[in-house]
Amino acid sequence: MTSIDPAFSERAQAPVQEANQARAGIWLVGLAATASWIGVAALIELWPEIIPQPYGRELAIIALAIALAVAVVAATGKLLGPVAGTVRYYGPWFIAAAVLMAAWEVVTAKTGWLPVPFFSSPQSILEVFFDDWARLAESVYHSVLLLAKGYFFGALAGFLTGVTIGWSRAASYWVHPVLRLIGPLPATAWLPLAFFLFPTSGSASVFLIALATAFPVTILTWSGIASVNRDYYDIARTLGAKPSFLILKVAIPAALPHVFVGLFMGLGTSFAVLVIAEMLGVKAGLGWYLQWAQGWAAYANMYAALLVMALMCSGLITILFRVRDWSLSWQKGLVRW
């Protein structure tokens, strides 16, 4: 749990680094990054393409814009606040990205060393974003909506089940064997049955995503509740606590760090189920977009959709990190993040 987000602690050290550079006066890495992105722009603009493609000019402008942004940060120092700090922290990454971009550009659009259409050039992916953004945006909307529904119900069901079996011996007696048998089964194994049993493929997918989410959340909530220090209950009881207080104000807050581990695991598995459900049943969403693009051999669209999907998933994970940091702020200093 401590190693899930290493960047979090690393980035905390960035201000120190930043202060050192501010004292030195010139941000050398920033200047190098600016130069390399200008180089990328020049390469795109000046080296003729082997197969002429649209949006080469736009791509060069974007590269110049990146160069300009980095240059502004390098010139203004700390005036731009935390944004500048983040840009400075990722300074070396800006250079690396420029090198990768240039290499990618050369082996695809400029020389055609990598075979078309399986490998797309940067500008052909840009073309997808310019010309097909509406469909992509709609796909993201459908994916997020479907995921949110399934994840919400799954997390809620998992949490409630976990608390119940963690608290009640009778519930544990009956639920535990069922969990042991059904839990490890991948949610995708239910897919054919779910599409048959549920009235719509949408509701079937919500069920499958919920199922995939619920299992890890249940197990970790349960183990969290079960590992609460017994003394907490004794303390609360001598202070006059009733059972409802023991559950809501003692057991659940104490188990929350475990619950969040379960929520992270559940989110990870729910992504897999989401994509498969969209590919096989639901006629919308990024999974469907991937399938559809493959059907048309539109490889650039696939790369674009993969990129969007990566941004979506990591964005959702980031949101969950924020929620965890906010709800478990008491743990700061207690646990190394």
The letter for the amino acid at 5 is D
CA 63 – CA 237 distance, rounded (Å):
64
Closest listed residue to residue 277, CA positions, set 229, 324, 209 = 209
Interaction pattern, residues 201-230, with another protein; x per rule: CB under 8 A: ----------------------------x-
CB nearer to another protein: give 151 or 260: 260
Applying CB under 8 A, does 2 fall inside the site for another protein?
no
Radius of gyration of the CA atoms of the chain, in A: 25
Within residues 146-165, the interface with another protein by CB under 8 A covers none
Q: How many other C-beta atoms lie within 10 A of the C-beta of residue 318?
A: 11
CB of 162 to another protein, least distance (A): 18
Window 253-292: contact mask with another protein (x via CB under 8 A): xx-x------------------------------------
Q: Which of these segments, 42-50, 117-125, 167-175, 242-250, binds another protein (CB under 8 A)?
A: 242-250
Letters for 27-56 (x = contact with another protein by CB under 8 A, - = none) are: ------------------------------
Nearer to another protein, 9 or 111 (CB): 9
| SS3 of 285-327 | CHHHHHHHHHHCCCHHHHHHHHHHHHHHHHHHHHHHHHHHHHH
Q: Is 234 in the site for another protein (CB under 8 A)?
A: yes
- Does 180 interact with another protein (rule: CB under 8 A)? no
Judge whether 280 and 191 are in contact, CB under 8 Å. Answer: yes
**CA dist., res. 229 & res. 225, Å (int):** 9
Give the nearest distance from C-beta 263 to another protein in angstroms.
17
Are 58 and 130 a contacting pair, CB within 8 Å? Answer: yes
Please, which of residues 303-332 interact with another protein by CB under 8 A? Answer: 328, 330-331
In DSSP notation, 61-101 reads HHHHHHHHHHHHHHHHGGGGTHHHHHHHHTHHHHHHHHHHH
- Position 236 contacts another protein (CB under 8 A): yes
Among 231, 295, 296, 326, binds another protein (CB under 8 A): 231
Q: Which residues of 69-106 are buried (b: 16+ CB within 10 A; e: fewer)?
A: bbbebbeeeeeeeeebbebbbbbeebbebbeebbebbe
Of residues 7 and 239, the one with the C-beta less far from another protein: 239
Q: How many chain residues touch another protein (CB under 8 A)?
A: 23
Task: Give the three-state DSSP class for 335.
Answer: strand
Strand partners, 335: 332
Q: Which stretch binds another protein (CB under 8 A): 60-68, 141-149, 172-180, 247-255?
A: 247-255
- Minimum Å gap between C-beta 230 and another protein is 10
Helix/strand number for the chain, H first, E second: 16, 0
**247 is an interface residue for another protein by CB under 8 A:** no
Rounded to a whole number of angstroms, the minimum distance from the CB of residue 159 to another protein is 17
Q: Which of 235, 297, 310, 311 binds another protein (CB under 8 A)?
A: 235
* Residue in 104, 129, 152, 232 binding another protein, rule: CB under 8 A: 232
Provide the minimum distance between the beta carbon of 231 and another protein in the complex, in angstroms, as a whole number.
5
**14 vs 86: CA distance, rounded Å:** 8
Residues in contact with another protein by the rule CB under 8 A: 229, 231-232, 234-242, 245, 249-250, 253-254, 256, 328, 330-331, 333-334
